Amino acid sequence: MTLQSVLIVGGGIGGLSTAIALRQKGFEVTVIERYPDLHASVFGVGIIQPGNALRALDMIGCADACIEAGYPAKQWGRMLDAEGNHLRDMAGVTIEGTDLPPLNGVTRPKLHEILTNRALEVGADLHYDVEFVSLEEGPDSVTATAKDGRTFTADILVGADGVRSKVRKYVFDGAEMEPQYIGQSAFRMNMPLLPEIDCIVLQGDDQGMAGYVPIGPDLAYMFYNAHMGTHERIPQDQLAPRLREYLARFGGLTARVRDEFVTDDAEIVLRPEESMGTPRPWHKGRVVLMGDSVHAITPHLGQGAAQAIEDGVVLAEELAVMGDDLDAAFLAYTDRRYERCKLIVDTSLAIGEWEMGRKPGFDNVSATIHVLDVMARPL
């Protein structure tokens, strides 16, 4: 039998990127997404696209559109202390053989729109409002059943359904593998682009870190990684005053943002930061996992989406090369991805630990530069 069709569970960044990459290799691709439309599944405000993310996006024909819609920066970032004094610049890295910038920032809705349009352009079949509940594997195919009773059958199934993946248990024989809350939650909000936010700007110390990312010609987003207990909750109508409390000790840029822009509870998003790295293999039979379903990454390096996009590109390459030998293709895919993703998971978690005062002496800037250097290497 010739491998022809792929079913992807999950229409987020990773699922759509995988769909595009597979279609470019000639596979028939169907994506099922539990949310009712392309906008309903988009959470958060903006997204960081480091050079390696842009390289992967370029491989699926989406980098130019992201750069046009976003903010291509000339360097990765800079560090300020809590008072606002300049500490250090981080040039970042460029991808050899390309003219891609070291960093691009873009809004999440715009990125989702770009990926969706490209997926449709290359002929992927997208189905919304389809909630996956179970799968059954046969000798020559795998069938997914939705909550409403619909079924979808393909030669292989890709679990791209995020940190709460329902597909994951089929690969790990029912073992409960869930991401762990690290003790931080991230406040995020959009704000006007100020002249000094021309790259990632990090301001803070081991008591807490605020950050700013340009995501368009006139738009930026700010974030603050707050130390919060496992069961601590902040009501929506108290988000702005609580964020101002966290930022009270800051001067400089963050003081201005606090006083001028942290005013509307409805504009602030608060999400827990979670981490998970699953063991190998990432597949069983005709089912394979990718993205947050196997490597949930905290946002400290801006690499979560980048790694999911890279997963899709590599998976498509290995399936195209290995032909009908699924086990060989899935093993080659995981071998190429595992250590790279593990470095991101571990380093992101270490930066979070340092921000919470649990890792004295840790050099977060050097750790970031090392990761960027590794990510610039070929996939």
Distance CA 168, CA 320 (A): 24
Beta bridge partners of 216: 219
The CA distances from residue 20 to 41, 195, 221, 288, in Å, are 18, 36, 28, 17
Q: Are 153 and 28 in contact (CB under 8 A)?
A: no
| Strand-strand pairing, 180-192 and 132-137 | unpaired
Structure token pair of residue 45: 């405000």
DSSP-H helix ranges across the chain: 13-24, 51-59, 63-69, 108-121, 168-171, 239-246, 252-260, 304-322, 326-355, 364-375
pLDDT, tens digit only, all 379 positions of the chain: 477 999 999 999 999 999 999 999 999 999 999 998 876 555 668 999 999 999 999 999 999 999 999 999 999 999 999 999 999 999 999 999 999 999 999 999 999 999 999 999 999 999 999 999 999 999 999 999 999 999 999 999 999 999 999 999 999 987 888 999 999 999 999 999 999 999 999 999 878 899 999 999 999 999 999 999 988 889 999 999 999 999 999 999 999 999 999 999 999 999 999 999 999 999 999 999 999 999 999 999 999 999 999 999 999 999 999 888 999 999 999 999 999 999 999 999 999 999 998 998 899 889 999 999 999 999 9
Looking at this protein, which amino acid is placed at residue 104?
N
Instruction: Cite the beta strand spans of 206-345 per DSSP E.
Output: 208-216, 219-227, 268-277, 283-284, 287-289, 295-296
CA 261 remoteness from chain centre: 26
Q: Is the peptide bond before 281 cis (omega within 30 degrees of 0)?
A: yes
Distance CA 185, CA 44 (A): 13
CATH of domain 5-73+104-178+275-356: 3.50.50.60
Looking at this protein, which amino acid is placed at residue 142?
V
